[in-house]
Amino acid sequence: MTDVPDRDVLLEMQRRMIRIRRFDERASKMVKRGQIPGTVHTSIGQEAQVVGATMALGTQDYMTGNHRSHGHPIGKGAPLGPLMAELVGKGTGVCKGKGGSLHLADFAVGSLGESGIVGSSIPIATGAGLSAKVLGNGRVALAFFGDGAANQGCLYEAMNIAGVWKLPVIFLCENNQYALSTPAHTVTSGVIADRAAGFGMPGVRVENGQDVLAVYDAVSTAVARARADEGPTLVEVVTYRFNEHSEGLRLGVDYRNADEKAEWVAKDPIELFKAELVRRGVATEQELDQLAADVLAEVDEAVRFTDESPYPDPSVAFEDLYTDQPQQPALAGAHQ
C-alpha cells in the first residue's frame, strides 16, 4: 500500500473526476444539439479508473489513450478550453481542429495522443518508456486501453519488449466489460491481468475500479516500480461505462441488461468519493459542493471559449504534415 495522499491531492482527484463528468455531459448535450460533429465516446462512470491512474503520474510522465479519449487528458491536467474547442473543430483546439474527439493530445501535460485505432497507441507509449530509459530522465509512460484492445496482438509485442528491456511502462486496461456490444468474457480467454505472468511482470486486477483510491494505489505501486528501474506492470481495472458506447448510438439489441446497469450506476465513483472525503473529514459536504460548482463554471468557460473561437483557415489542412515543407496544394492535386 502506498501512503494515503494528502488533502490537496485528494481534493484534486475529486476535482478532476468531476471535470471529466461535467465535460462529457456537456459534450453529450452538444452532440445531441448538432454542435459537435463526428463521433464522441464519454468516460462517464469510469472517472475513478481514469483519475486514479493519471493522478499517480506526474505532469512530465507520458500517457497515450484510445477513442474514449476526453478523460485521459483531463485527468492528466489539460485545460478544458482547447479540448472543447477541438471537439467542435475550432482553430483554437488543442490539435488546431485536426484531431477531434477521437485524437486529443496535449503534449504540454505529457498526453502523447489518443488513438482511434483500437490498441494502436500501446507501442507509442512503450517507445516513450524506451526514451525515458535511454535518456535516464526518470519519466514513466502509461498506456490506456480497453478490454477490447486487450485482444490486439500489439499489446503482447509491447509487453514482451517492455518486459525484456525493463521499460518504465504501465499497461492500464480499462475493463469496462464491453467492447462496443461485445461482452469481454465472450471474446477473452482467461483473465486479462493474468496475462502479465506470461511476460514475467506483475499483473494487478483492481476489482473495484469505482474507488479512485484503489486505482491510485495500484498505479502508484506500478509507477514506483517503473521509476526504480524494475520494469513494467499490467494493471487491469474493472469498471463500467454509464452511457452508450458512443453518444447518439442506438443499437437494436439490449446487450447490457437493466439490472446490471442499475447495479453499476449505483456505484458512481464521484458520489462514492464524495462520501469518503466527508467520512474522512477531508472536506465538508458544502466544500465539495462548492468544488463541483467551480468545475461547472470551468466547463461553462470552456464552452464560451469554444463559441468565441474561429474555425481554422482552410490552409491549415495543409500544415503540420512535415516539419520542413509547406504543402504544395497544386502539386498535391488538391486545388486543381
Partner 1 sequence: MTVMSYLGAIGAAQREAMQADERVIIIGEDVEANVYGTTGGSGKSRAQQGDFLQMFGKNRIRNTPISEEVIVGAAAGAAMTGLRPIVDLSYSSFLYMAMDQFVNQVAKNRYMFGGQASMPVVFRSAMFYGLNTGAHHSDRPYPMFMNVPGLKIVAPSSPSDAKGLLRAAVDSDDPVLIFEACILWGTKEDVDENEYRTPLGVGRTLRTGTDATIVAVSGAVPEAVAAADALAQEGISVEVFDPRTLVPLDVDGILQAAAKTGRLVVADPAHRTCSASSEISALAAEHIFDQLKGPIRRVTTPDTQIPFSPALEKQLYPNRSTIADAVRASLGERRHGTDGANGRTIADDSIDVKEVPAS
Ligand X SMILES: Cc1ncc(C[n+]2csc(CCOP(=O)(O)OP(=O)(O)O)c2C)c(N)n1
Q: Which region among 93-101, 142-150, 229-237, 256-264 touches ligand X (by CB under 6 A)? A: 142-150
**What string marks each residue from 241 to 270 as x (binds ligand X by CB under 6 A) or -?**
----x-------------------------
Grid cell listed for 319: 500544415
Q: Is residue 160 at the binding interface for partner 1, with CB under 8 A as the rule?
A: yes
Residue nearest to Mg ion (CB): 146
Q: Is residue 69 at the binding interface for ligand X, with CB under 6 A as the rule?
A: no
Question: How far apart (Å, rounded) are the C-alpha atoms in residues 223 and 212?
Answer: 16
Task: Show contacts with ligand X in window 167-186 (CB under 6 A).
Answer: 174, 176, 178-180
106 vs 217, beta carbon nearer partner 1 = 106
Q: Is residue 225 at the binding interface for ligand X, with CB under 6 A as the rule?
A: no
28 vs 121, beta carbon nearer partner 1 = 121
The region, left, alpha or beta by phi > 0 then psi within -120 to 50, assigned to residue 12 is alpha
Q: How far apart are the first and last CA of the chain?
A: 64
Question: How far apart (Å, rounded) are the C-alpha atoms in residues 55 and 91?
Answer: 29
CB of 291 to ligand X, least distance (A): 27
Contact residues toward Mg ion (CB under 5 A) are: 146-147, 176, 179
CB of 142 to partner 1, least distance (A): 12
149 vs 295, beta carbon nearer ligand X = 149
Q: Return the residue matching grid coordinates 507509449.
A: 125
Binding ligand X (rule: CB under 6 A), the pick from 67, 103, 205, 225 is 67
On whether the CB atoms of residues 127 and 161 are closer than 8 A, the answer is no
CB of 335 to ligand X, least distance (A): 31
Q: Cβ contacts of residue 81 below 8 Å, gap of 6+? A: 92, 301, 302, 305, 306
Q: Return the residue matching grid coordinates 480499462.
A: 174
Question: How far apart (Å, rounded) are the C-alpha atoms in residues 297 and 289?
Answer: 13
Task: Show contacts with partner 1 in window 65-104 (CB under 8 A).
Answer: 93-99, 103
Q: Is residue 149 at the binding interface for ligand X, with CB under 6 A as the rule?
A: yes
CB of 299 to ligand X, least distance (A): 22
Long-range CB contacts for residues 130-136, cutoff 8 Å, separation at least 24? 130/165, 130/167, 132/62, 132/167, 132/168, 133/165, 133/166, 133/167, 133/168, 133/229
Q: Is residue 116 at the binding interface for ligand X, with CB under 6 A as the rule?
A: yes
Q: Is residue 154 at the binding interface for partner 1, with CB under 8 A as the rule?
A: yes
